[in-house]
């Protein structure tokens, strides 16, 4: 496994880098889209059921299906990386809309009232009070989305996108010593998932200083 790594260092580093991009960018795009949608779902009661059902429906579509259908929907080439990013972003939105809505709904009403009494306008109150207080719940969803994304990205190997999953197909088609690249790919995926997960937890901790300001009861 290590011999394989040293022998193919530059390719593997390139694959690792594109894997990182394919795992992280869709979650960021997904979060940006999910925030306003989740706000609508939390703010207006009538909007919650349809938004959440549509999100659940998107999640029902298998990843391979979404990958191969994207060129048809977007008019891109099958080898285009955009397909993978859009497909994974759709999953991230599907997962995060609910999380954002539930996170915003979990903000205590007294906190919102206090903020209003202090003179916050609705928009300012959202960014200064509601969103930060919803961070723990949203972050839990972002962790799930990111970690499962890392393993979903490998499926994109089947449509020819280069990332760590490429090591699996390399191993599959290799003549001898097939397991080294595959094992290496699995290990790198898990390590990457752990690193990203840790980074999100660290960011969450930095964003929620108040959770440690008061001793836990």
Partner 1 sequence: MWTYLSTGTNWGGQAGLWTNILDQVEYSVIAIVIASLIAFPLGLWIGHTGKGGTFVVGSVNATRALPTFGLMVLLFIVLSPHFHGRSNAVYIIPVEIVLVLLAVPPILSNTYAGVQSVDPAIRDAAKGMGMTGRQVLTSVELPNAFPLIMSGLRSASLQVIATATVGAYIGLGGLGRPIYDGFQQGPFQDTDPSRAATGQLLGGALLVAVLALAIDFILATIQRYTTSRGITGRYRRSTVLAGSQPVMAPEPEKVISEVVAQQPRRPGLRPDSVR
Contact residues for partner 1, defined by CB under 8 A: 49, 52-53, 55-57, 59-65, 68-69, 71-72, 77-78, 94-95, 98-99, 102, 105-106, 108, 137, 140-141, 144, 147-148, 150-151, 154-155, 157-159, 164-165, 167-169, 171-172, 178-179, 182-183, 185-186, 189-190, 193-194, 197
Q: Distance between alpha carbon 1 and the CA centroid of its chain, in Å?
A: 29
Shortest Å distance, C-beta 119 to partner 1: 25
Shortest Å distance, C-beta 52 to partner 1: 5
Shortest Å distance, C-beta 138 to partner 1: 10
Shortest Å distance, C-beta 204 to partner 1: 12
Residue of 134, 153, 155, 167 whose CA lies nearest to 196: 153
In angstroms, rounded to a whole number, what is the distance separating the alpha carbons of residues 48 and 98? 9
DSSP 114-168: HHHHTT--HHHHIIIIIHHHHHHHHHHHHHHHHHHHHHHHGGGGGGT--STTHHH
Complex with partner 1: residue 85 or 139, whichever CB lies closer: 139
């Amino acid at each position: 496994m290590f011999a394989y790594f040293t022998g193919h260092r530059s390719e593997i580093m390139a694959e690792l880098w594109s894997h990182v991009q394919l795992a992280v960018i869709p979650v960021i795009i997904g979060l940006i889209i999910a925030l306003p949608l989740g706000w609508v779902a939390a703010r207006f009661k009538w909007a919650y059921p349809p938004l959440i059902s549509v999100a659940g429906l998107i999640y029902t579509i298998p990843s391979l299906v979404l990958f191969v259908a994207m060129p048809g929907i977007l008019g891109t080439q099958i080898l285009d990386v955009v397909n993978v990013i859009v497909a994974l972003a759709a999953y991230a939105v599907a997962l995060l809309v609910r999380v954002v809505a539930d996170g915003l709904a979990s903000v205590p009403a007294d906190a919102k009232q206090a903020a209003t009494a202090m003179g916050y306008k609705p928009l300012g109150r959202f960014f200064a009070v509601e969103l930060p207080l919803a961070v723990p719940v949203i972050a839990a969803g972002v962790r799930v989305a990111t970690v499962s994304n890392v393993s979903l990205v490998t499926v994109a190997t089947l449509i020819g996108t280069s990332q760590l999953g490429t090591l699996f197909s390399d191993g599959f088609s290799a003549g001898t010593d097939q397991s080294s690249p595959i094992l290496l790919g699995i290990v790198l995926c898990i390590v990457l998932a752990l690193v990203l997960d840790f980074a999100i937890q660290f960011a969450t901790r930095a964003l929620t200083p108040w959770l440690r300001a008061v001793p836990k009861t």
